[in-house]
Structure 1
């Protein structure tokens, strides 16, 4: 696609925001099968034991300079960074196809974005805002790397891949969505780039893998990394993996191994170790990671089992103690801040809080099931979106009418229909209406422009289900994305990208950057590949 101001402006601010939100030969097995099974419950034994596999167990060795483990966004970009810097690259992926994740990718001050009319942001201000929104827990050097290099990465992609492969891309404007940003809970800046008009990163993922393979990158699917190989000095020299026949193969990497293995959200022991009890219970019961795989085959249903994290720790790395996450919701009027109530019929939060960052609030409600209810009047008031949708767009994009909802002539009747206490819900609505009439939410400080009394029936209740998507935490890395040991020294030959990299977020996703997790994954993955290639 040839980007132009016309292409950028044709959807408008809300439209572009919505578009962005809407991707071996055999080897004789002479060693025992991998023995990295974990207990179903408990926290003490989350690490498990490394499988007893070594290069000596393999009759086949596949050599490369840089080996990338994992083919999602971070892995793709790591392969790109290594290939672009002259390395011979191999990618191994335990599934039958590349992973697809997220909807937009965040970059800062790329020429591509500036040409489209987006503002040029101050890197210091941006990095400081990122640090603030991660509760001062992120590694500021990792933030700075994104600020310093992400624009260059996008411009390189545009020249090398996006234009030659006719890959759709459109910088997204969030300018002017909020009349008074000082009254909003969440801060946004226009850093996101959409790579589809209607879909997640499906096309981007497929196309970039085709580009990489055209440039000589070798990819082995249905190939599961099992253990990192280290020499006597502790340097990582490769990976022993099992192919689709369960046969061990040694992937020998002369320059380095980059671990881009994603989430550990499907690992019960790790979830219970690194998250509070109620959050872990909710996340394990509502893990929807595979929802983002599109129509590609998912051959390994335990792909977010944290094996990559454990491989890193077996090699000497340390997990961060406070782990972050990303969540989503599949039902209800997302990003329209109507009154929310829990299973007791009580209001419990400022409804403008981003769905990406509020799962811990919802998971901590009675029942810990992630289910809450939107209570909506049917008058003529147009509730503004807290992200920039209009109602017609949201209704079409999210197929709103297919979501579970109920309607009644009274609040008490509505409460009966959804299993809530009528007196409690009635009292909650009366209190909410008082605040709306006063024009000031002194209970939860919701901005006045979102305050509409629920005083015009029939009344509606829309079920909202929060889902867990992935963990966003991992091991400590330096500014070259080298993995560090307990003494904060680099483990030679070992790098990481994406959701195996720790200290990027605080206790949850932060929403300043549109597509921020993907933005960090893309930039850090690229820089890991660059560093490995130039080592």
Structure 2
């Protein structure tokens, strides 16, 4: 056999270490027999002693730390605390034990935690590579050998012989979350045999759902001109949208919301419209589009804890919809220019094929948990966030699978960010903070309190959109701002009359806020103070010191702000009088404030039938895309002054996709 170089030997040895083959076996392969000396038996001399760490994405971030002698793995630590599935979080000790026993990354997956298992094995393999000197830096950082972007990669090649089972359905829904459940219910209502697969154990439905002309809006008297709405959405996106899709939302969202209201009512839950009407004089246009279930006090007689996912999963099951969880899609199957199904993995990590005779609906949630994709496609946005609130599973699987079969991806890339993360003073926003979750959930961040830069100076009209000040942070030295308020904050937030989920007291029609100020006052704010994400001080000078701001400048800024409050006119930035607040009553509060990711907003371009289109803008038969996987609807920034704009679009188009796939799809 040809003699192996040192690096070549290490590459083979790495593969062996990751698959359980011993170095003795390698020696036998290389020399015709295994050397009996200690240096050649076992894995002796293979590793550089030390401790190595790697992080991979599961449903959240999974970190594996391994310590090596020159011949063995001596200690393993697995951190699954950032995972979003309880079983995965609790599985760290099991993974540690398995990796130590195997002395390899090849361990059995834990049932119910397939995604986490994959991430653990991949991170462990990376640690082994590092210990064996195989972690190289000379590979291309942006593209692979054929010029494909590294974040995209190429579709896997799976032999028919690797497929252990085949399933048949008419409509296949990939992703059982906000869009997927509406799509599945619609497909089944229209007579199609329907199957839902999801990479995690269950889907989730966001509670803020936008619509125009629902029966709930009509009852209150909310009227929104659809062309005013389309115009504003176009302005916000700087024209980078397909107006036909926004018009479609305006025309079909009411029926979808009314239908959902009926499903909730069947389970004893009220759906409420979050009315406007108390915000006259605001500089920014607000559309009262929001609808949220009133879960508190709801009871369908079963004693079960209800949420949107359970309500619709139960309803879908009653229609005959089947669900397969822990079943991630690997790739779409395309035959004769038509998408006819998918290859997926079952709970045991084995390949299965699912044929869908009427169509596949992709709704896997975008890519806001895929940091490599975000860093490649929108690094400017990743640099102004410090926390991630994405629904589990949003790692770009659906978008990449669609691109592999020829679908067209948006040219502009953006994410939905709310200004509700707090960092400790020495921390900086960006991938590391967001990925590691080292931030506080600062719900008050969207309130229009005084906000200053690292020089202690005011720099922005705090009454703008959630993302406005975050994008303005791009001009600040530390890509952050600092929120300052006093002990009378509960009085001021009632005068602010904010919209949507930032509101912390009832809407004009008595609809509940997402989080009432009492919950923030009694628990959330004291917790942030205790954990060092918010500071509570007796003087502005002391607050400045804690936040690392120049005390003289901050004191002068506060004095000027109080002067403007007394005048009732913001002469510096034009903020509305009812959005001003004095800072006089000690103790004073301050936080280093940055962004909070909810989802990505760019995706696969679609037509009015929800069909993915190819690069010629022709529909791809059998392939439908909804929700955060779909594009053409948002760009640049999220229109948060239309409450539930994203989720309302998702459920409306999910319902449409299910109907079309079941009855008239191409």
Q: TM-score, normalised by structure 1?
A: 0.82
Summarize the Cα distance change of 1:197–1:381 in structure 2 as closer, same or farther, 3 Å threshold: closer
**Contact 1:433–1:454, Cα closer than 8 Å, also in 2:** yes
**Contact 1:332–1:464, Cα closer than 8 Å, also in 2:** no
**Contact 1:371–1:465, Cα closer than 8 Å, also in 2:** yes
**Contact 2:470–2:594, Cα closer than 8 Å, also in 1:** no
**d(CA) in 2 for partners of 1:144, 1:289:** 27
Q: Deviation string for 1:189-208 (max 9, x for gaps)? A: 14423353499x96111110
- 1:395 is aligned to 2:500: no
- 1:77 is aligned to 2:182: yes
Task: Name 1:297's counterpart in structure 2.
Answer: none
From 123, 136, 154, the equivalent of 1:49 is: 154
- 1:477 is aligned to 2:606: yes
**Contact 1:55–1:240, Cα closer than 8 Å, also in 2:** no
Secondary structure at the counterpart of residue 183 of structure 1: coil
| Number of residues of Structure 1 aligned to a counterpart in Structure 2 | 481
Superposed CA RMSD in Å reads 3.1
Task: Name 1:518's counterpart in structure 2.
Answer: 647
Task: Name 1:222's counterpart in structure 2.
Answer: 326
**d(CA) in 1 for partners of 2:372, 2:216:** 44
Secondary structure at the counterpart of residue 49 of structure 1: coil
Q: TM-score, normalised by structure 2?
A: 0.66
From 162, 168, 183, the equivalent of 1:63 is: 168
Q: Deviation string for 1:399-423 (max 9, x for gaps)? A: 3332224344432232112221112
**d(CA) in 2 for partners of 1:420, 1:59:** 62
**d(CA) in 1 for partners of 2:189, 2:467:** 34
- 1:342 is aligned to 2:446: no
Q: Deviation string for 1:168-225 (max 9, x for gaps)? A: 13222323321x2x433351314423353499x9611111011101110111000010
Give the drift of 1:128: 2.6
**d(CA) in 2 for partners of 1:413, 1:66:** 62
**Contact 2:330–2:344, Cα closer than 8 Å, also in 1:** yes
Task: Name 1:16's counterpart in structure 2.
Answer: none
**Contact 1:327–1:357, Cα closer than 8 Å, also in 2:** no
Task: Name 1:373's counterpart in structure 2.
Answer: 483
- 1:196 is aligned to 2:332: no
Summarize the Cα distance change of 1:445–1:133 in structure 2 as closer, same or farther, 3 Å threshold: same
- 1:122 is aligned to 2:225: yes
Secondary structure at the counterpart of residue 313 of structure 2: helix
Moved more, 399-408 or 419-428: 399-408
Summarize the Cα distance change of 1:97–1:173 in structure 2 as closer, same or farther, 3 Å threshold: closer
Secondary structure at the counterpart of residue 181 of structure 2: helix
Give the drift of 1:353: 2.1
**d(CA) in 1 for partners of 2:191, 2:490:** 61
1:373-522 alignment runs, 5 A limit? 373-376=483-486, 382-383=492-493, 384-385=495-496, 386-387=498-499, 388-390=503-505, 393-397=516-520, 399-404=524-529, 405-522=534-651
Summarize the Cα distance change of 1:289–1:202 in structure 2 as closer, same or farther, 3 Å threshold: farther
Task: Name 1:163's counterpart in structure 2.
Answer: 265
Summarize the Cα distance change of 1:460–1:163 in structure 2 as closer, same or farther, 3 Å threshold: closer
Summarize the Cα distance change of 1:96–1:455 in structure 2 as closer, same or farther, 3 Å threshold: closer
**d(CA) in 2 for partners of 1:394, 1:86:** 46
Summarize the Cα distance change of 1:40–1:306 in structure 2 as closer, same or farther, 3 Å threshold: farther
Task: Name 1:322's counterpart in structure 2.
Answer: 412
Secondary structure at the counterpart of residue 468 of structure 1: strand
Tell me which structure has the larger Cα radius of gyration: 2
From 147, 152, 168, the equivalent of 2:250 is: 147
**Contact 1:347–1:428, Cα closer than 8 Å, also in 2:** yes
Q: Deviation string for 1:471-493 (max 9, x for gaps)? A: 12201100000000001001111
Give the drift of 1:519: 0.2
Task: Name 2:192's counterpart in structure 1.
Answer: 87
**Contact 2:222–2:288, Cα closer than 8 Å, also in 1:** no
Unaligned regions of 5+ residues in structure 2, if any? 1-110, 112-117, 127-138, 144-148, 299-304, 421-440, 507-514
Task: Name 2:103's counterpart in structure 1.
Answer: none
**Contact 1:40–1:268, Cα closer than 8 Å, also in 2:** no
From 357, 365, 373, the equivalent of 1:262 is: 365
**Contact 1:68–1:90, Cα closer than 8 Å, also in 2:** yes
Give the drift of 1:83: 1.2
Q: Deviation string for 1:35-72 (max 9, x for gaps)? A: x9999964742211111125553232100111010000
- 1:103 is aligned to 2:226: no
**Contact 2:445–2:483, Cα closer than 8 Å, also in 1:** no
Summarize the Cα distance change of 1:185–1:110 in structure 2 as closer, same or farther, 3 Å threshold: closer
Q: Deviation string for 1:405-446 (max 9, x for gaps)? A: 434443223211222111221232233334334433233221
Moved more, 456-465 or 347-356: 456-465
Task: Name 1:287's counterpart in structure 2.
Answer: 388
**Contact 2:289–2:645, Cα closer than 8 Å, also in 1:** no
**d(CA) in 2 for partners of 1:457, 1:375:** 10
Task: Name 2:130's counterpart in structure 1.
Answer: none
Summarize the Cα distance change of 1:202–1:473 in structure 2 as closer, same or farther, 3 Å threshold: farther
- 1:360 is aligned to 2:461: no
Summarize the Cα distance change of 1:485–1:173 in structure 2 as closer, same or farther, 3 Å threshold: same
Summarize the Cα distance change of 1:331–1:67 in structure 2 as closer, same or farther, 3 Å threshold: same
**Contact 1:483–1:490, Cα closer than 8 Å, also in 2:** yes
**Contact 2:208–2:290, Cα closer than 8 Å, also in 1:** no
Task: Name 1:3's counterpart in structure 2.
Answer: none
Secondary structure at the counterpart of residue 503 of structure 1: coil
